[in-house]
A and B are shown apart, each in its own frame.
Chain A
Amino acid sequence: MPEFNLSDSIITSLNAQEPWPDNVKLYQPYEVEQILLPDNASCLAVQAFLKMCNLPFEVEMRWNAEFMSPSGRVPFIKCGAFVVSELEPIVQFAANKGVTLCAQLSTEEKAEMRAYMSLITNVLVNAELYISWLDNDTYNAVTRVRNSSVYPWPLGWLQTRQKRNAVAKRLKALHWHEKSLDQVLADVEQCCNSLSQRLGDKDFFFGTTPTELDALIFGHVFTIITTRLPCRRLAETVRRHETLVSLAKRIDERYFKRP
């Protein structure tokens, strides 16, 4: 259940000025059997951001991470007494502690960065939701099984149906529900086009150091191209954009070095 409270956020910003503690935990659903494409993308984006900032954290997997989160969405971090969810509030929270990736950006660049970030939330996130919940093959073969895996029968069925209705409602409000898969992919294509044009042949979007925009793109692109789904057209559409794929690989190698 999302809860927003002005006094809470004021308290958060007033008290948040202590340095980053060592025992920060990032909560997310189980990666192997539970997590879904859109959630995985946002969890990976937050992880990438924290790693880029060189902020220590530990990943903790919980079946009810979504319900523990104050905004109802994953991931969220627990930092001392504070609980902060989703990328943008976490970026803000880190900035309050003096840790930021966009210190050298000009005001126009910052505005541009925000515009691209909202482009991603408006297009890529909705496309992921569309594929996961409204594409019948993917829903039946992947989403339904994974989403209900943590619940006993028949609660899993109830929860999945309830969540599907909520996602359908959200997409309806954004006029995505009526779209065909082709239209959705066309939107994704257009979004990727403008992103790869902006990126060009640079290492990162704004020069040689990454920003939260790079973290967000990494989260989504990497998840889309590495997740196996019955509907492969989304992954194929994204994979055609070499520059974005190589950006994702670059970030993966630099920050997620696996032994």
Chain B
Amino acid sequence: MGTVHAKANQHDIGDSGGGLFVFEEPVEMGEEPIPKPTIKLDGVRARVDRVHVDGLNRTKDDIIKNTIDDLFHATDFEDVIVRAHKVRRALDSMGCFRDIGVFIDVSSGPGSTPEGLEVTFQVKELSRVIGGINTTVSENEGNLVLGVKMPNIAGRGEKLQAEYSMGYRSTSNFNVTATKPYPHKPLVPIVSASVYQQTHEYPWSGYRLLDRGLLMDLAFKSSPTTKHNLQWEGLVRETAALSKTTSFKVRESSGPQMKSILRHIVTVDHRDDAIFPSQGSWVQFSSELAGLGGGVAHLKTELQAQQNYELIEDIVLQLSGAAGVLHDMFGTEIPDHFFLGGPTTLRGFQQRGVGPHSDGQATGGKVYWAAGAHVYAPLPFLRNKNGISSLFRSHFFVNAGCLAAPDNGLTNWEWANSARVSCGAGVALRLGSVARLELNYCAPLKARTNDCTAHGLQFGLGVHFL
């Protein structure tokens, strides 16, 4: 087992000594003061003489040194603890270790100062190969995923991940991703590249899509809550009609196409929770430019936003909105279009049930807007906040939206008047920290003749909800 020893430069500070202090994680820092009434920790002067990191094997010293550097700037004992906690979190977020223990002791031996401390991190590196079988949810489809992960390949947090998944709609996908983080560069960039194959069936539109592509991604943060993704994606997509009765308009768009996309996504997230937030706002703006190579050229921009207010305790009002515009240059086909309707977007309508249809199959639109207002409340009669009831919320909602493919350009605003409205109530269930499941009773209030409404119970499973 390798060990990193880092040592501070000698210079004299004060006189009072520190004591033995060992703490096991997790310790909640920050809001709550540590309940030690007899000693005021921030009054105890202290400095860190040495930091040991035990259990290093293939992780490179330089990134560890950069991570723990912060500890040497501590001036009192409370500061040491807070910074040790931060370092522990930073080590954890590198994704190279499990079981990180922190020990703080008075320093001894040559070179120790009177109030000097020694901090020891005991880490266990993750094994070189991790395999797993798990299930995931995406837009209305559950998948069985077989995965292999190789964390920390070259010792600086690099990761190689391979996944093969089978969906219950007999689709099979794979994805191989290589990731390289730069945790100590400004803006904390993460570079990743992936190769993938994805099969999707869209019975509501009568086609099947097979995407094979390459995705390069540069993620960075311009502030702690603002995340950017710059992406280039090159893909070959094969569209095929699902059956003989597929609408001819959908059939016309079948065949292989190549697409090259430049994309920028910026996300600002001030919410306190991703699934059931009680306050804060979230905005995502994505713009994509296709057409630098390939046979499809368009400009596509989409804005999604959410705002949460806690009205009274546990009762949350959520306002959300989304809008998108697609400007076609050439080659844009049905799979590039926007679609609206279904349990994750405009509830009370069938999947892709809003907007232009051809023989009962959704052909999508080039411009849309959607908005929703929700009131979330805990389940009635279950007042225990921390038990199973924390996974559930009941909600009431009103959704509205519109999707159109205006023939005479986007400057004619007539399409925007044909709003569809629905309302309802139901129960939402948190699945892990990313997905959500909803069971709602929906009543469409306003629909157009071509729309496919879904009056009654509607079940939705997804990652992102309107």
A interface residues (Cβ-Cβ under 8 A, vs B): 1, 3, 5, 8, 12, 62-64, 66-68, 70, 78, 81, 83, 151-152, 154-155, 158-159
Contact = CB atoms under 8 A, between A and B. Distances in A.
B236 A158 contact: yes
Contacts of A155: 236, 256-258, 294-295
Interface in B232-247: 236, 238-245
A151 B255 CA distance: 11
Which 7 A-B residue pairings sit nearest by Cβ, starting from the closest?
A: A64-B255, A67-B255, A155-B258, A8-B244, A1-B240, A67-B254, A152-B295
A139 B363 CA distance: 38
30 contacts: A3-B243, A5-B243, A5-B244, A8-B244, A12-B244, A63-B255, A64-B252, A64-B254, A64-B255, A66-B255, A67-B238, A67-B239, A68-B251, A70-B241, A70-B244, A78-B248, A81-B359, A83-B244, A83-B251, A151-B256, A151-B258, A151-B295, A152-B293, A152-B295, A154-B258, A155-B236, A155-B256, A155-B257, A155-B258, A155-B294
A138 B243 CA distance: 35
Contacts of A66: 255
Contacts of B245: 8
Nearest to A155: B258
Contacts of B241: 1, 3, 68, 70
A8 B243 contact: yes
Given A68-B252, A155-B257, 4 more contacts: A1-B240, A1-B241, A5-B243, A151-B258
A64 B236 CA distance: 15
A154 to B, nearest CB: 8
Identify which of B208, B256, B257, B295 gathers the most chain A CB atoms within 10 Å of its CB: B256
Nearest to A78: B248
A5 B241 CA distance: 14
B244 A68 contact: no
A81 B246 CA distance: 10
Contacts, number: 53
Contacts of A158: 236
Contacts of B248: 78, 83
Q: Which of B208, B252, B255, B295 has the most CB of A within 10 A?
A: B255
Interface in B252-278: 252, 254-258
A83 B208 CA distance: 18
Nearest to A156: B258
A8 B359 CA distance: 16
A251 B163 CA distance: 58
A28 to B, nearest CB: 14
Given A83-B251, A155-B236, A155-B295, A67 B244 contact: no
Interface in B285-299: 293-295
B258 to A, nearest CB: 4
B243 A67 contact: no
Contacts of B239: 67
Contacts of A3: 241-244
B256 A67 contact: yes
A255 to B, nearest CB: 28
Nearest to B242: A3
Given A3-B244, A5-B244, A70-B244, A152 B258 contact: yes
A113 to B, nearest CB: 27
B396 to A, nearest CB: 43
A81 B251 CA distance: 12
A151 B245 CA distance: 28
A83 B236 CA distance: 26
B256 A68 contact: no
A66 B208 CA distance: 16
A68 B251 CA distance: 6
Contacts of A62: 252
Interface in B210-248: 236, 238-245, 248
B208 to A, nearest CB: 8
Nearest to B247: A81
Nearest to A70: B244
Contacts of A151: 256, 258, 295
Nearest to B243: A3
Nearest to A85: B244
Contacts of B251: 68, 83
A30 B242 CA distance: 25
Interface string B166-208: 0000000000000000000000000000000000000000001
A78 B359 CA distance: 15
A155 B255 CA distance: 12
A153 B351 CA distance: 35
Contacts of B238: 67
Nearest to B212: A158
Contacts of A154: 258
A168 B294 CA distance: 28
Contacts of A83: 244, 248, 251
Nearest to B359: A81
Contacts of B258: 151-152, 154-155
Contacts of A5: 243-244
A129 to B, nearest CB: 21
Nearest to B210: A1
Q: Which of A12, A64, A70 is the most central at the interface, judged by chain B CB atoms within 10 Å of its CB?
A: A64
Contacts of B240: 1, 67
A151 B293 CA distance: 11
Nearest to B236: A155
Contacts of A70: 241, 244
Given A3-B244, A5-B244, A8-B245, A68 B293 contact: no
A155 B238 CA distance: 11
A151 B296 CA distance: 11
Interface in B333-390: 359
Contacts of B293: 152
Contacts of B242: 3
A25 to B, nearest CB: 10
A151 B244 CA distance: 26
Nearest to B240: A1
A67 B250 CA distance: 12
A207 to B, nearest CB: 36
Nearest to B252: A68
Given A78-B248, A83-B248, A151-B295, A159 B256 contact: yes
Contacts of A8: 243-245
A77 B345 CA distance: 38
A79 to B, nearest CB: 11
A12 to B, nearest CB: 8
A159 B236 CA distance: 10
Nearest to B234: A154
